[in-house]
């Protein structure tokens, strides 16, 4: 059984229009998304801003209410439970946020930020045990015991992200949703945090849903990678396979956009025209067709099916085979 099995998840937000706010439309932030994560596995989730990857991550933790679909965590549907039952399950699911500056309470000492998770789930029987656990957690993320008495503003961005990780680890979760955990950091510090997440996975067998827009980082840490566009997953494959043999033209464009250090690297540059269209009025047919270099008539009218093109390699594109040959 998978640790997490998301089935046909939809998250729609109502949008009111018109003078009397009568015309109601829906912004389809997440539309018919299915994915699974095995214990100890890292699933990468990439896509541009506004593609719904953060909403999907939050919906899995029930931080936003899903409109439809099922979120099976260890076989239990999280979308149907509430209150105390949900709180108990949340111990197994944690999240690390993008901005290490706004996700830590500036008026709480680091020890209290980490200890609060222990208090809520009653994981420390007494003060001494609580202090000991906080020290252990700080050591696990590469900080010192003395840091427990400091405030967040005394730390650099990378250190703050470590505090966020320690807070997530406090309750011994089985799955951590990492929502752009390194996007706000310098490349040198980014590498430190990525390595830390990798080590923790090895030591503790934690599974990650690793959300980011930088495909190079995602490929580095993930076992499998899902690519999201306008609320839908358009391609899913093993990390190395996805980068070497992308099937979807959107994935190919994302790969070609990653800046390359080597000045002699020969590659095809695909600069996508325009921006991501509005998710309130997604284009008909394949939602990527207005920006797709391969689009043909069928793509403008007929939505492509989600199909397994090769074993373990899924894509939603009429032309996946052709695109793959061109890459």
**Minimal distance in Å, beta carbon 222 to other proteins?**
12
Q: Is 48 in the site for other proteins (CB under 8 A)?
A: yes
The answer for 309, left when phi > 0, alpha when psi is -120 to 50, beta otherwise, is: alpha
Rounded Cα–Cα distance for residues 323 and 320 (Å): 5
Q: Is 227 in the site for other proteins (CB under 8 A)?
A: no
Rank residues 90 and 224 by Cβ distance to other proteins and give the closer one.
224
Q: Is 106 in the site for other proteins (CB under 8 A)?
A: no
The secondary structure of residue 304, as a DSSP letter, is P
Mask for 268-287, x = binds other proteins (CB under 8 A): -x-xx-xxx-----------
Binding other proteins (rule: CB under 8 A), the pick from 23, 139, 258, 280 is 258
Enumerate the H helices of 15-126 as residue ranges: 53-60, 83-90, 110-120
**Minimal distance in Å, beta carbon 57 to other proteins?**
17
Rg over CA atoms, the chain? 21
Element containing residue 80 per DSSP (H, E): none
The secondary structure of residue 201, as a DSSP letter, is H
Rank residues 154 and 321 by Cβ distance to other proteins and give the closer one.
154
Rank residues 122 and 269 by Cβ distance to other proteins and give the closer one.
269
**Minimal distance in Å, beta carbon 76 to other proteins?**
34
Q: Is 263 in the site for other proteins (CB under 8 A)?
A: yes
Stretch of 13-21, 30-38, 61-69, 267-275 contacting other proteins, by CB under 8 A: 267-275
Rounded Cα–Cα distance for residues 247 and 244 (Å): 10
Contacts within 8 Å (CB) and 24+ apart, 22-31: 25/280, 25/281, 26/280, 27/279, 27/280, 28/231, 28/279, 28/280, 28/282, 29/55, 29/56, 29/231, 29/279, 30/55, 30/56, 30/59, 30/66, 30/231, 31/230, 31/231, 31/232
**Minimal distance in Å, beta carbon 78 to other proteins?**
30
Using CB under 8 A, count the residues that bind other proteins: 46
Q: Is 139 in the site for other proteins (CB under 8 A)?
A: no
Q: Is 195 in the site for other proteins (CB under 8 A)?
A: yes
Binding other proteins (rule: CB under 8 A), the pick from 214, 237, 286, 304 is 214
Q: Is 54 in the site for other proteins (CB under 8 A)?
A: no
Identify residues 66-85 at the interface with other proteins (CB under 8 A).
none
Binding other proteins (rule: CB under 8 A), the pick from 19, 259, 305, 311 is 259
The answer for 194, left when phi > 0, alpha when psi is -120 to 50, beta otherwise, is: alpha
Question: Concatenated DSSP letters for 166-181?
Answer: HHHHTT--SEEEEEST
| Burial (0-12, 13-18, 19+ Cβ within 10 Å), 16 | exposed
Q: Is 203 in the site for other proteins (CB under 8 A)?
A: no
Binding other proteins (rule: CB under 8 A), the pick from 256, 283, 295, 310 is 256
Interface positions with other proteins (CB under 8 A): 48-49, 154, 156-159, 186-192, 194-195, 198, 213-217, 219-220, 240, 243-244, 253-265, 269, 271-272, 274-276
């Amino acid at each position: 059984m998978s640790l997490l099995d998301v089935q046909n998840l939809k998250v729609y937000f109502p949008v009111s229009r018109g003078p009397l706010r009568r015309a109601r439309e829906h912004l389809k932030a997440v539309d018919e998304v299915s994915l699974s994560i095995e214990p100890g596995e890292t699933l990468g989730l990439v896509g541009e801003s506004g593609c719904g990857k953060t909403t999907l991550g939050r919906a899995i933790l029930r931080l936003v209410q899903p409109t439809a679909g099922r979120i099976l965590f260890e076989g239990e549907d999280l979308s149907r439970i509430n209150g105390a039952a949900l709180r108990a399950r949340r111990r197994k699911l944690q999240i690390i946020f993008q901005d290490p500056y706004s996700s830590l309470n500036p008026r709480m000492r680091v020890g209290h930020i980490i200890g609060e998770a222990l208090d809520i789930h009653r994981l420390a029987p007494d003060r001494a045990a609580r202090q000991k656990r906080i020290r252990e957690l700080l050591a696990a993320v590469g900080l010192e015991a003395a840091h427990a008495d400091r405030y967040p503003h005394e730390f650099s961005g990378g250190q703050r992200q470590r505090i966020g990780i320690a807070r997530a680890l406090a309750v011994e979760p089985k799955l951590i949703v990492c929502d752009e955990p390194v996007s706000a950091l310098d490349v040198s510090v980014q590498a430190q945090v990525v390595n830390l997440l990798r080590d923790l996975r090895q030591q503790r067998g934690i599974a990650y849903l690793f959300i980011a827009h930088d495909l190079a980082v995602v490929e580095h840490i993930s076992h499998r990678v899902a690519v999201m566009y306008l609320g839908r997953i358009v391609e899913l494959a093993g990390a190395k396979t996805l980068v070497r043999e992308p099937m979807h033209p959107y994935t190919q464009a994302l790969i070609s956009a990653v800046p390359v250090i080597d000045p002699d690297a020969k590659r095809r540059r695909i600069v996508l025209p325009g921006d991501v269209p509005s998710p309130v009025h997604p284009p008909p047919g394949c939602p990527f067709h207005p920006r797709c270099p391969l689009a043909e008539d069928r793509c403008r009218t007929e939505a492509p099916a989600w199909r397994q093109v090769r074993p373990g390699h899924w894509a939603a594109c009429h032309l996946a085979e052709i695109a793959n040959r061109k890459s």
